[in-house]
Amino acid sequence: MKKLTPLLIAACAVLLLAAPPFLKNYGIYLLSYWLVFVIATMGLNLTVGYAGQKSLGHAAFFGIGAYTVAIMMKAGLSFWVGLPAAALICFFVGIALGFPALRVQTIYLAFATLGFNTAVWLVMRNEEWLTGGTFGINNIARPSLAGFSLEGNLAYYYFVLGTAVLLGGLQWGLLRSPWGKAFTALRDNPIRAESLGINTRSYTLLSFAIGAVYAGIAGVLFASLVQFIEPAPFTVGASIMMYLMVVVGGPGYFLGPLLGSAVGVILPEWLRFAQAWYLFVFGAAVVLLMIWLPDGLLSIPDRIKAKRQAREASAARAAAAQQQGAK
């Protein structure tokens, strides 16, 4: 799988660059929407797939990013001020949320982040003076870049694509740095990681903070994409869906968010022909997938390789036993 990853990335890049001009506006919008969730789940994959933490509060950071840029632009500030501000706020809130990870693990940590998501959503819904409550914030403008307007769907799509590539490249470098190795060690065996001198406290906080930054940036892009935000997209259900995207794609696989977000965003659109049954079909497909592929879609090559190696090892043992019996 590791040898195929660069080829898959190159193929996806060519397709994503060449296909959109031939699509209608809704197709371009849907691809942009998908890329927003690719960015968000890249952050969650770092927290869940690489650092081994269970988080059900990712939609809260997604919403914090969206509301930060919307409120700042409503106050007359630029998108380019709101974007780094949202990332910084999510970083520090992620550090604050990471502290429960130092005391609780597994399902208890999931409950802690779920409670955080609920609290943030209640603020979004009830503090009308700040967030607009259920009426939301509308007329969120799309930015300009170097004097070029990104108002059009195609132009904004390429902006989101460029942002996704940039953030993906940063994460690729991070995962191959000593930090990335420490995250993986923390996931595989925290006690052994600590015995090797890895500061588990610092790396746990860092995984939450970086994952939160990715979600916050995705929220900023989402706000300008839809140009209207209200609390509904940032519920606990949205966090569960993001977690599902990571699990379906393959936690701990670099391209997992790419495939998992496609299943969560694009597949439901393809199933709309089933009308009232499409949610049932989608849910049943995900359940069957989790039964047969608990490590996600991208684990298929590794499972095939493991089965082949098991057959070869079994054949080698049988041959060795046969030779021993002949002697």
Q: What is the pLDDT of residue 105?
A: 62
Residue from 30, 10, 6 nearest 20 by CA: 30
Would you place residue 158 in the very low, low, confident or very high pLDDT band (cuts 50, 70, 90)?
very high
Query: C-alpha angle with apex 87: 8 to 227, nearest 5 degrees?
Result: 80
- 1 pLDDT higher than 60: no
Residue from 34, 32, 87 nearest 242 by CA: 34
For the chain, the distance separating the N- and C-terminal CA atoms, rounded to the nearest angstrom, is 41
Report which of residues 92 and 205 the model is more confident about: 92
Q: What is the pLDDT of residue 275?
A: 63
Tell me the average pLDDT across 53-71.
94
User: pLDDT above 90 covers what percent of the chain?
Assistant: 44
Instruction: Report the range of poorest mean pLDDT among 60-74, 171-185, 307-321.
Output: 307-321
Which single residue is written with the structure tokens 């190696």?
Answer: 309
User: H/E element holding 242?
Assistant: helix 236-249
- Mean pLDDT, rounded, of the chain: 86
Q: What is the pLDDT of residue 170?
A: 94
Residue 209 to residues 51, 58, 148, 269, Cα–Cα distance (Å): 12, 11, 32, 32
Q: What is the pLDDT of residue 304?
A: 83
- 5 pLDDT higher than 70: no
Tell me the average pLDDT across 164-176.
92
Q: What is the pLDDT of residue 10?
A: 76
Other C-beta atoms lying within 10 Å of the C-beta of residue 16 = 18
Q: What is the pLDDT of residue 233?
A: 93
Task: Report pLDDT digits (tens) over 204-214.
Answer: 888 889 999 99
Of 61-75, 105-119, 282-296, 307-321, where does the model show the most confidence? Answer: 61-75
Task: Report pLDDT digits (tens) over 103-154.
Answer: 666 677 788 899 999 999 999 999 999 999 989 999 999 998 888 888 989 9
Which single residue is written with the structure tokens 């940063």?
Answer: 170
Are the CB atoms for 64 and 223 separated by under 8 Å? Answer: no
Task: Report pLDDT digits (tens) over 184-237.
Answer: 887 777 777 777 777 777 888 888 899 999 999 999 999 999 999 999 999 999
Q: Is the dihedral of CA 137, 143, 149, 150 positive or negative?
A: negative
Q: What is the pLDDT of residue 53?
A: 83
Task: Report pLDDT digits (tens) over 7-54.
Answer: 777 777 788 888 888 888 999 999 999 999 999 999 999 988 888 888
Of 6-10, 229-233, 262-266, 322-326, where does the model show the most confidence? Answer: 229-233
- 277 pLDDT higher than 90: no
DSSP letters for 58-75: HHHHHHHHHHHHHHHHHT
Tell me the average pLDDT across 273-282.
70
Q: What is the pLDDT of residue 180?
A: 82
State how far the Cα of 294 lies from the Cα of 249, in Å rounded to an integer.
Answer: 10
State how far the Cα of 106 lies from the Cα of 113, in Å rounded to an integer.
Answer: 11
Identity at 134, one-letter amino acid code: T
Would you place residue 3 in the very low, low, confident or very high pLDDT band (cuts 50, 70, 90)?
low
Are the CB atoms for 183 and 51 separated by under 8 Å? Answer: yes
pTM for this model (two decimals) = 0.90
Residue 254 to residues 42, 118, 274, 283, 298, Cα–Cα distance (Å): 8, 29, 32, 25, 9
Would you place residue 60 in the very low, low, confident or very high pLDDT band (cuts 50, 70, 90)?
very high
